[in-house]
Chain A
């Protein structure tokens, strides 16, 4: 039964968005290693920062970025299917409104995070 999903574009997309989980896992493990190195002291932490500068790491993170951004895109795109309908003033919120609000929230959250990191760092 392996590969059944290749026959239908709908299922190909399903497998692609499910596979973003591999990238989320890889990124979380990268952060976990960083946290462990942080706990081991300054030299260990600087070693992790240095490893993050390697071309392999940069390429891997660009792949994580694309995959996790695609996760964000599909996460909200599927909201009308995965979440119970949202009723406002007795009317069901249109799917486009739900999806659009999700994407807007994701963009605002990303910008807020960048702003907060900037403020802490400055």
Chain B
């Protein structure tokens, strides 16, 4: 039997778990609010996601943190799951696949952090 290399990515697993938990707890309602209720003018007060309100939210310490963890952890969760599913559909999960999945999550994390820092506090 071939000796198997011990996983060197408990961090990725942790990010997968944290993102999966956040997506399970808040994902459906977030999608409903941002993608259905606000665009169609249902339920929530008009102007809920107006520019001044969203800017203030992104400048608020808690709001900033919420936006950052939602975007980045959703991306890390999805990246990890997609990367490991590639094997199941017969795609060799090599360096290219890793770059495409974790790479996108990494870029998304850096971009969201940069924007959130730039909008000020």
User: Given A35-B112, A38-B58, A69-B28 in contact, is the A24-B74 Cβ separation under 8 Å?
Assistant: yes
Picked from A25, A58, A62, the residue with its CB within 8 Å of the CB of B78 is: A25
Picked from B28, B49, B81, B108, the residue with its CB within 8 Å of the CB of A68 is: B28
- B87-121: contact bitstring with A at CB < 8 Å (1 yes, 0 no)? 01110000000000000100010011001101100
User: Given A45-B51, A114-B29, A117-B44 in contact, is the A106-B36 Cβ separation under 8 Å?
Assistant: no
* Interface flag for B18 (CB, 8 Å): no
Size bin of chain B's contact surface: 35 or more
Interface centre among A21, A39, A45, A57 (most CB of B within 10 A): A21
* Nearest CB in chain A to that of B90: its residue: A2
**Interface on chain B toward A: helix, strand, loop, or mixed SS?**
helix
* Interface flag for A19 (CB, 8 Å): yes
User: Given A49-B49, A58-B40, A72-B23 in contact, is the A35-B33 Cβ separation under 8 Å?
Assistant: no
- A1-43: contact bitstring with B at CB < 8 Å (1 yes, 0 no)? 1100100000000010011011011011111101110110010
B30 contacts A113, C-beta separation under 8 Å: yes
* Nearest CB in chain A to that of B74: its residue: A28
Q: How far is the CB of B119 from chain A (nearest CB, A)?
A: 6
User: Given A18-B81, A58-B40 in contact, is the A72-B118 Cβ separation under 8 Å?
Assistant: no
A interface list, Cβ under 8 A from B: 1-2, 5, 15, 18-19, 21-22, 24-25, 27-32, 34-36, 38-39, 42, 45-46, 49, 52-53, 57-58, 60-62, 64-65, 68-69, 71-72, 75-76, 102, 105-106, 109-111, 113-114, 117-118, 120-122
List the 8 closest A-B pairs by CB distance, nearest first: A61-B35, A25-B78, A21-B81, A28-B74, A110-B29, A121-B48, A109-B25, A72-B24
Query: What are some 12 contacts across the A-B interface (CB < 8 A)?
Result: A24-B19, A27-B30, A29-B108, A39-B119, A61-B31, A64-B31, A64-B35, A65-B31, A71-B24, A75-B20, A110-B26, A117-B44
